[in-house]
Structure 1
Amino acid sequence: MQFKKMPPKGARLNPQSKAIVAHLQAHGRQTFDQLHVLFREPSYHRSNGPNGFVPNPHWLRARLTNLRQGGHVSREVHEGVMYYVAGYQAGEQEPTSRQALAAGGCITPPRRVYVMRGGTYQPPPPVPCREGAMDFANCPSLDAGRRMPFIPGRAIYG
């Protein structure tokens, strides 16, 4: 069986993603609002609403997130404004709390509980019935015309 070779990472982008990355490479860092003005919503990103096609306002944010996760675009914050930049910035990803603690100090490992020791399981004793709840057991039932006493735990099947 022959497997097709996968195209390189950049070749898997759709035309609109390629246009976003090319624009960022040509013009440098851009804010989300600047990109939103340039890249209007394409028709295939619309969903059918009650009145026909309704624009999806979050498509560009989702596209930029996918490009960031793929390593094509990164974010940087400058004077409180977030910019998108073409390419991967090594310092972009913030360490998680576990990674930060591992770098700075020791982490207490998770508790290990050995559950296989101990005695044999004994369920709690049954709760006694309230008075009069088992009175039906004193009434014999009929089986093929014969009276049969009630015996708990015994089932009589034809």
Structure 2
Amino acid sequence: MKNNQLTKEATLQIVSAINIRLKGRTNPLVVSLDGGSGAGKSTLPLIAGESVQYHLFSFSTGTGLTPSSVTDAPSKVIILDEIYSSLSELSDVVDFKVLVDVLPAVCRYRSNVREGYADEAWHKQWDSAEDYYFSVLCPPSSFDLIVINQ
């Protein structure tokens, strides 16, 4: 397993919980897969209803979104695998909220490995935003499932 991937146990927990919620559904299940940068969220390979087109998030554009869009194929499960995907503003869209929980030091290490260097200025700004998000806006008690991914 690579350092930034979900463990087998975490993956099985998430997939099992999704499969239970899919029983009897006729429309896609929208899952927010939330967690800190470097938690391993983006390594869960699930997509599932209608084609969807969206813009990826990017700090470098100044607007928060990339100029070009991405299109994904239909699916029974739609996974929003990004920090902030469990905000209350999305509650009318999201059916199931999952927190991928990892110690902050592990997230920082994985993020640095993924980027290829330690960007202390970025961490100084981003880490405090993540801390606020997970302590005030979306504390662990607001999630339907918490998986540990150490």
Could you state the TM-score of these two structures normalised by the residue count of structure 2?
Answer: 0.21
Structure with greater contact order relative to length (CA < 8 Å, sep ≥ 6): 2
Could you state the TM-score of these two structures normalised by the residue count of structure 1?
Answer: 0.21
User: Which has a greater percent of strand?
Assistant: 2
In our comparison, the structure showing a higher alpha carbon Rg is 1
